[in-house]
Amino acid sequence: MQLNKEELEILIEKAKGARKKAFSFKSNHSFGAAVMTSDGQVFEGCNSEGVISSLGVCAEMSAVDHAVVHGNYDFKAICVADENITWPCGACLQYLTQFCQVNDFDLEVVASDMMGNFQVKRLSELLPKQFKSKSFDQKLKSFHKK
């Protein structure tokens, strides 16, 4: 595992904290996420539902976008927190894949419950048939260490 114990604990706590801020008025199912950059910064996100279903956003995408807003594109790991251990959806896994192309790193994905139990897998294990853009590969790589 690439994450050390301290980094793992920070990611889990941040994801659990973000979960408490979820805007889940329709489903009442809250998710929190925290993404860690390669330089150790952590950015949180939570799910936010819309009155129109397609206008919502997943916690993982929210966390990634939070990092992007702050100029960070180079990710080491992401944690998602739910009541039970739950892995990111397929759309989130694919979204994460494009950011993995930035640094050619197989992201670690942590799934944690609210009691602190967790499991860790590589993104390639969760989405073995990832779509990696050949036409945008060099443009994605240009964000490495930007």
Q: What is the pLDDT along the chain (146 residues), one digit of tens a residue?
A: 589 999 999 999 999 999 999 999 999 999 999 999 999 999 999 999 999 878 899 999 999 999 999 999 999 999 999 999 999 999 999 999 999 888 888 999 999 999 989 999 999 999 988 877 777 767 777 777 76
Q: What is the pLDDT of residue 71?
A: 94
Residues in the chain: 146
Q: What is the CATH number of domain 5-141?
A: 3.40.140.10
The domain spans of the chain are 5-141
Q: What is the bridge-based pairing of β-strands 108-112 and 75-81?
A: parallel
Residue 133 phi, psi dihedral angles, 5° rounding: -70, 125
This prediction's pTM: 0.89
Q: Which residues are catalytic?
A: 60
